[in-house]
């Protein structure tokens, strides 16, 4: 998909990559040429894609951390259930 988006911005240089990716702003960029200090549409698209990759990595890290927490809590719950069962059996026998 990133290659497709890059090809679109190359074929249609006036197409606003922010609009294309996120629906934000105007569909077309102004007709005037960007000044030297402004980023070209393909550079903007590449920056957006890099930002998206970084956000994906951050979210995956959070998900993995939460999965480990769930696994630890599941184990603790199982141990607590076993302990409760042992206590109940001891009380019934005693």
Q: Residue 62: what pLDDT? A: 95
Structural tokens at position 49: 């894609």
Model confidence pLDDT, tens digit, residues 41-83: 788 888 889 999 999 999 999 999 999 999 999 999 999 998 8
3-state per-residue secondary structure call for the chain: CHHHHHHHHHHCCCECHHHHHHCCCCCECCCCCCCCCCCCHHHHHHHHHHHHHHHHHHHHHHHHHHHHHHHHHHHHHHHHHHHHHHHHHHHHHC
């Amino acid at each position: 998909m990133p290659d497709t988006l890059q090809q679109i911005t190359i074929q249609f240089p006036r197409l606003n990559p922010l609009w294309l990716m996120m629906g934000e702003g105007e569909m077309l960029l102004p007709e005037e040429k960007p000044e030297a200090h402004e980023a070209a549409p393909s550079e903007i698209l590449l920056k957006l894609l890099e930002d998206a990759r970084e956000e994906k990595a951050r979210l995956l890290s959070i998900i993995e951390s939460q999965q480990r927490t769930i696994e630890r809590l599941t184990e603790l719950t199982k141990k607590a259930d076993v302990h409760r069962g042992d206590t109940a059996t001891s009380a019934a026998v005693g």
